[in-house]
Amino acid sequence: MKFTSLSKGKGFYFPPCHLLNICGFRVLFDCPLDLSALSIFSPVGIDEGEFRVSSCDDFRDSECSDKKRQKAEKPLDASNLIHAEPYYKTVNDLHLWNASFIDIVVISSYMGMLGLPFLTRKQGFSAKIYATEATARLGKLMMEDLVAMHAEFRQLYGPEESGSTQWMKWEELDMFPSVMKEIVIGKDGTELGSWMPLYSAADVMDCMQKVQALKYAEEACYNGTLLIMAVSSGLELGTCNWTISSPKGTVTYLSSSSFVSSMSTDFDYHALQGSDMIIYSDFTTWKAGNGVDDYIGCSAPSTYELSDFSNSENDWEVRAESLLKLDDGAEEVEKLSFLCSCSIDSIKAGGSVIIPIGRLGIILQLLEQIADSLEATNNKAPIFVISSVADELLAYTNIIPEWLCKQRQDRMYSGHSLFGHVDLLKDKTLQLFPTLHSLELLKSWEEPCIVFCPHWSMRLGPAVHLLRRWCGDPNSLLIIENEEYTDLALLPFKPMTIKALQCSFLSGIKLQKVQPLLNILQPKVLMIPEDSRQFIPTFNTSMSLKYFSGKETLCIPKYKTTSELDIATDLTLQIQWKKLRHKETSIARLKGQLLLEHGKQRLVFHNDQEASMQAKSLLHWGKLDLKSLLVSLQKMGINGFVEQENIDTESETPTLVHISEPRKALIEMKGTDTVISTDDEDLASLICRTICSNLDCI
Amino acid sequence: MAIECLVLGAGQDVGKSCVVVKMNGKKIMFDCGMHMGHHDHQRYPDFSRISSSGDFDSSLTCIIITHFHLDHIGALPYFTEVCGYKGPIYMTYPTKALAPLMLEDYRKVMVDRRGEEEQFTSENIADCLKKVTAVDLKQTVQVDKDLQIRAYYAGHVLGAAMFYAKVGDASIVYTGDYNMTPDRHLGAAQIDRLHLDLLISESTYATTIRDSKYAREREFLHAVHKCVSNGGKVLIPTFALGRAQELCILLDDYWERMSLKVPIYFSAGLTLQANMYYKVLINWTSQKVKDAYTTRNAFEYKHVCSFERSMINAPGPCVLFATPGMITGGFSLEVFKHWAPYEENLITLPGYCVAGTVGHQLMSGKPKKVAVDKDTQVDVRCKINQLSFSPHTDAKGIMDLVKFLSPKHVILMHGEKPKMISLQERIQSELGIPSYCPANNETVSIPSTHYVKADISDTLRRKAKYPNFKFLKTNPEGNSNRDFMAPPTDPLRVFDDRLTDGILCLDNGKKAKAVHQDEFLGMLGAEKHELQFAYCCQVRVGNSGNARNIEISGDTLPIIDKYSRLHLLNGKLALELAEVNIQDCGEHIQVESVSISVCLNDDCPHRVSETSLNNSEAIYFCCTWLAVDEELARNVISALKKLELSTTEV
């Protein structure tokens, strides 16, 4: 078994990506896109002419390169962003692998799917792709939405510019500010090749046709050898961990998981119990710089901060701080209600709220809660969801009770719809529009309002235009998630007077829960990243730990050299056991046919049984004892004399036994080689039988 | 090991489906239905046969319910709440959602209409359903350490499932009711090819072969259309779930196509509530309905609205779905009384009506008057139309499923005895699968699969991955009387013997282990003992110009060295031994393990027999072989002895 970590990802929106070689099959875990990298591009709708003057073309005119660098190191402004049709950043190390050598792709969440069309459209790609039904459906919608939003760039830059990669030239890259340069080429400067122009809608369609959708806990059998099963991870709709069973044992891939799911099916740890190996791939709560000492501190990653560029209000911070003390479930609930109350405050003050969050679970809950709060506080404001897939997305969420948690299912059993948005849509509190410029939207638009719309990168989709509209309104509110490059993301909208609320939602296993979880799951081998050492100092020693790091293939030693074999009962009846001489062991020839089906090895009755027996030669082992052989020969009425006896077995000269009675024959013995020569068939077989009786054989 | 099936209901009968299967120490109850035809203790399965002490929790591992029809779930609240079973219960999501509607409806009919003592209360129903674990299709559920169950789509009604259960190596499928052809809103049954010891199948239509449904659908639509275009009212008495939705989709679709404006009504809130479930559970319907859901949920009917009691006598045509089916009472009976006396109206009865109901009276002949109760008679002048839609599979479907799954045994349930017996015979004769159709309270015991566990070494496993083809000739006579004109009689058999070097070892009291023979010798610390046979054979060399040479038809070659001699020998042997494959390896000739080479050593120890010729007249060929090829080697040698080689130089 071999394991290669291709990318550790960056939290929820960019899940990790690994490659595992198991039983000779290459399994790729997830195929995400780093959409946060989009922030190096200038968003659509930012007035082009405004920045033309200071775009890179001007730099090139300047003679002095020192001057360029000086300029580059100045504080960033929107003019530094790239004015071109965006490229998309894929997992860099994945490009090092030949796509046709991948046998299986498993997708753990809809975010882990966004890069899949890049892979599936490669020549020679023939892997089987597994994803849960919900993941496949939502992933498809997300990809379609991405393609739809990207079309705006196409319109802006025109077809002739698409595919132009001026910015990718090294001389241009050199002039980028360091933050942008790091995004473009990575920390080690190798990642330029990971940038790709976006796939087309046809690519998405093509990709989806290759995906085999699974239910939770449905066994998918690959090549008879591997049993692949998706198990609920509790994080989001349809997200899952994977167990891969082979005759050699079970491997669990533990992706970002949540033990307190407010909406999706609960984390299923029963199915993960008894795995031989766990690949721990939930890094969402591991943040660089958090040492051993303060890992408890970072375990509550829910830091609310009003960003610097907004008018901070003290009471928010106080409220936010109090949230830290709450435990998981309650904490998440509190977060949402806090967001609600902030939104209501904005509406009260006459401002609008824009929520470009990409997490479906959060959106659905906020929709319900904000509507409830609006009603409770007697405020009236329309709620809009603007996305090319809004309609389908919300319709879909209402027909998937199987993918939801108990509480949601109980809503159905008691005769309600699964989500409150069904009723909101009915009474027109909530309205869905495919695009900002749709006629219906223009007709029913009113402000203040609450808008859910993509995209969280603040480069694509209606969010860009709406933020442009409201960024100068101090009463309005922007709710965004805490991402690595948030500053860069908001750069083109500066100066901003809109309130910006940055929040982070629990998107993985908290550090202090890792140990208890592993105690429950009890794997024999735990694969964990090298840098986990600083986060998780103590580990139960009963399991063997393997540390992996990026850009390195780790060989996992076999934890057993045998595997299970099931022998059919009718076959066992046929087995003729033979006792070994001088030993307590019985042996028998294997018969039948070895089948590998459903991850199990079975020995069953074979129709050609008789035929195969005909051709089977006997295996003899050991050395002949001359004296006992002569005695045995005599018993059979065969007499002869020893011409030369050679006790030294290493010697070249053989021991010869001349047989004179009943006919002439010769037995030639040398170590473990014996040659019988005689003209007479009967005598030959008689001697042969006698020799065999003096040897162990099967 | 054996699988024991105790049939508590639906044995040679339709109603109160219930079978308890015991395998490898686990006891699973499939379905827990009630019988509509009985009103005494016989309506429920005889639970005392499971446990005489009434301790069902320890005697049953779990209960599995296939779908929400009363003959499959009707006794469940009674069993859990009255008899006190507290163990796990499994059913699909739609069944869990829709079962309370069915049970509550039944309870109401039982108590309110018939005035019977109630067997369970509404609270009982609610409490019972709380204990249910809902499962999704194809989801593998680990009931306990050993028992695994999985649901497969059965297509009979929304949420109907076949259940697969596996304990150890024994596995069975219980189909419940299923439909092998898709209908308006449901898909056809779907199952994986599983290795089964037993298939328990329904056999409602054990001997019927049904034609396409489309003709009947068209007939139904035309009848309805004709009626409403003449200003008549159409009454469709139906149960709330299943048929109502199917016909609604059918009509709604037709209305849309024909741009009809006549209203279609649904009576009572029950059906509307059921519709809500159908909308949420649309993933359990047919692919066609599913695919269309974003543009329009098929259960979001455009032309269907709810019906008010006051509208019964409103003028103008309409179509009304009213509960209950079979016109046993309630709203459908009330409407019937009002509409039956008018010629222009139509009453469509979908499906089967139990004897004693108004529906049954209407179906049997063309009654002028129908007795609704003791005192009231209703004139029937309207048209009566009967629909024979059935969500059950027909005989062909059953045979197809049995053939597809190829279980080791089949048990038939849920049907009529004579038809079941004929199907049972068909399965045995056509498919060669032993099958049974036990009566109620009978137990069928069948053997189950069992595998002996062993370990297999990686080396052997790796070797066994690669094919090891062997070719065997099966008719040894091919040699002597070979007729070139006769067609080949398949003399060559090819088989793939991958385990040829495998050895199974059993140390006292330990798990058996399969290893490769090399590994095995290594384990013993022994070396392979090579036992060979050898014989140095003398072959006569003919003189030059000998007439005998003509025999080899002009291709006589000079024997210059030992290679050409071997080559010559090869050619001769090939003529002599037609059926063996002779390989010329330069230094020697190889026939299987028999190796023949020219022997120039005058003291060859293998020249055991007396020599009859002197060296100038003969060449020696030294033959060695392994014990397996003893017979072949002797043939070769006797052929050698007969040969004469020519030394003629041309």
DSSP-derived secondary structure letter, B49: G
pLDDT band at B279 (very low <50, low <70, confident <90, very high): confident
Q: What is the DSSP string of B477-491?
A: GGGTT--TTSPP---
Position A294 pLDDT exceeds 50: no
**Would you say B155 and B178 are in contact if contact means Cβ atoms under 8 Å apart?**
yes
Task: Give CA–CA dist B547/B544, Å, rounded.
Answer: 9
**Stretch B184-191: mean pLDDT:** 90
Which chain B residue lies closest to A674 (C-alpha atoms)? B531
Distances from the Cα of B382 to the Cα of B225, B332, B346, B353, angstroms: 15, 15, 6, 19
Query: Best of A670, A679, A695 to disrupt the B interface by mutation (most B CBs within 10 Å)?
Result: A679
Q: Which of A654, A655, A657, A656 is nearest to A633 (CA)?
A: A657
**Stretch B432-453: mean pLDDT:** 92
Distance of CA B235 to the CA centre of its chain: 41
CB contact under 8 Å between B627 and A617, yes or no, is yes
Q: How far is B78 from chain A (nearest CA, A)?
A: 21
Position A322 pLDDT exceeds 50: no
pLDDT at A45: 65
pLDDT, tens digit (0-9, with 9 covering 90-100), for B323-358 = 777 787 778 888 888 898 888 899 888 776 766 778
**Stretch A605-628: mean pLDDT:** 69
pLDDT at A364: 94
Distances from the Cα of A210 to the Cα of A22, A105, A126, A136, angstroms: 22, 10, 9, 11
In terms of Cβ atoms closer than 10 Å to its own Cβ (0-12, 13-18, 19+), residue A288 is: exposed
CB contact under 8 Å between A412 and B458, yes or no, is no
Q: Give the number of beta-carbon pairs within 8 Å between A and B.
A: 237
With pLDDT > 90 as the criterion, what percentage of chain A qualifies?
40
pLDDT at A542: 75
Residues of A in contact with B513 (CB under 8 A): 562
Position A314 pLDDT exceeds 50: no
Residue of A19 and A691 predicted with greater confidence: A19
Residue of A677 and A615 predicted with greater confidence: A677
Which residues in chain B (441-500) have CB-CB distances under 8 A to chain A? 449-458, 461, 464, 470, 472, 474, 493, 495, 497-500
Instruction: Identify which of A586, A590, A617 has the shortest CB distance to residue B502.
Output: A590
Q: Would strands A477-481 and A499-503 be described as parallel, antiparallel, or unpaired?
A: parallel
**Would you say A672 and B531 are in contact if contact means Cβ atoms under 8 Å apart?**
no
**Minimum mean pLDDT range among A261-275, B157-171, B481-495, B515-529:** B481-495
With pLDDT > 90 as the criterion, what percentage of chain B qualifies?
32
Q: Out of A382-396, A614-628, B510-524, give the one with best mean pLDDT.
A: A382-396
Task: Give CA–CA dist B62/B58, Å, rounded.
Answer: 10
CB contact under 8 Å between B529 and A270, yes or no, is no
**Stretch A547-553: mean pLDDT:** 83
pLDDT, tens digit (0-9, with 9 covering 90-100), for B576-625 = 777 677 777 777 888 877 888 887 777 777 777 666 666 666 778 888 88
B534 touches chain A (CB under 8 A): yes
Expressed in angstroms, the distance from the first to the final Cα of chain B is 78
Please state, rounded to an integer, the average pLDDT across all residues of chain B: 83
Position A120 pLDDT exceeds 90: yes
**Stretch B41-58: mean pLDDT:** 90
Q: Which of A104, A78, A88, A87 is nearest to A18 (CA)?
A: A104
CB contact under 8 Å between B499 and A569, yes or no, is no
pLDDT band at B430 (very low <50, low <70, confident <90, very high): very high
Task: Give CA–CA dist A171/A57, Å, rounded.
Answer: 11
**Stretch A41-54: mean pLDDT:** 59
**Would you say B427 and B390 are in contact if contact means Cβ atoms under 8 Å apart?**
no
Strand partners, B20: B6, B29
pLDDT at B269: 58
Please state, rounded to an integer, the average pLDDT across all residues of chain A: 82
pLDDT at A649: 54
Q: How far is B557 from chain A (nearest CA, A)?
A: 30
**Minimum mean pLDDT range among A209-213, A236-240, B285-289:** B285-289
Position B555 pLDDT exceeds 70: no
**Stretch B552-579: mean pLDDT:** 65
**Stretch A361-365: mean pLDDT:** 93
pLDDT band at A400 (very low <50, low <70, confident <90, very high): very high
pLDDT at A339: 93
Is A354 strand, coil or helix? strand
pLDDT at A513: 78
C-beta neighbour count of B312 within 10 angstroms? 16
E strands, A531-624, in order: 544-548, 553-555, 562-568, 578-579, 585-589, 593-597, 600-604, 620-621
Q: Out of A264-268, A333-337, B405-409, B484-488, give the one with best mean pLDDT.
A: B405-409
Instruction: Identify which of B281, B294, B457 has the shortest CB distance to residue A562.
Output: B457
pLDDT band at B626 (very low <50, low <70, confident <90, very high): confident
Residue type, A265: T
**Minimum mean pLDDT range among A46-50, A540-544, B128-132, B212-216:** A46-50
List phi, psi (to 5°) of A623: -120, 155
Count CA within 13 A, CB hemisphere, residue A431.
19
C-beta neighbour count of A193 within 10 angstroms? 12
pLDDT band at B562 (very low <50, low <70, confident <90, very high): low
The answer for residues whose C-beta is within 8 angstroms of residue A282's C-beta and 6 or more apart is A254, A255, A256, A257, A508, A509
Alpha helices for A475-531 (secondary structure H): 486-490, 514-521
Instruction: Identify which of B139, B450, B528 has the shortest CB distance to residue A672.
Output: B528
pLDDT, tens digit (0-9, with 9 covering 90-100), for A140-190 = 999 999 999 999 888 888 776 555 677 888 778 888 888 888 888 888 888
**Stretch A545-555: mean pLDDT:** 85
Distances from the Cα of B451 to the Cα of A169, A340, B192, B458, angstroms: 65, 60, 21, 20
Position B86 pLDDT exceeds 90: yes
The answer for residues whose C-beta is within 8 angstroms of residue B634's C-beta and 6 or more apart is A681
Confirm whether pTM is higher than 0.95. Answer: no
**CA angle (B304, B307, B313) in 5-degree steps:** 120
pLDDT at A56: 41
Q: Which of A524, A547, A599 is nearest to A22 (CA)?
A: A599
pLDDT, tens digit (0-9, with 9 covering 90-100), for B229-275 = 999 999 988 877 778 888 888 888 899 888 988 888 887 656 677 88
Position A325 pLDDT exceeds 80: no
Count CA within 13 A, CB hemisphere, residue B159.
28
Strand partners, A478: A354, A500
Active site residues of B: 202
Residue of B482 and A536 predicted with greater confidence: A536
pLDDT at A602: 86
CB contact under 8 Å between A218 and B139, yes or no, is yes
**Minimum mean pLDDT range among A101-110, A313-322, B393-402:** A313-322
**Stretch A584-593: mean pLDDT:** 81
Longest CA–CA span in chain B (Å) reads: 127
pLDDT at A676: 85
ipTM attached to this prediction: 0.84
List phi, psi (to 5°) of A109: -155, 165
Residues of A in contact with B497 (CB under 8 A): 608, 612, 615
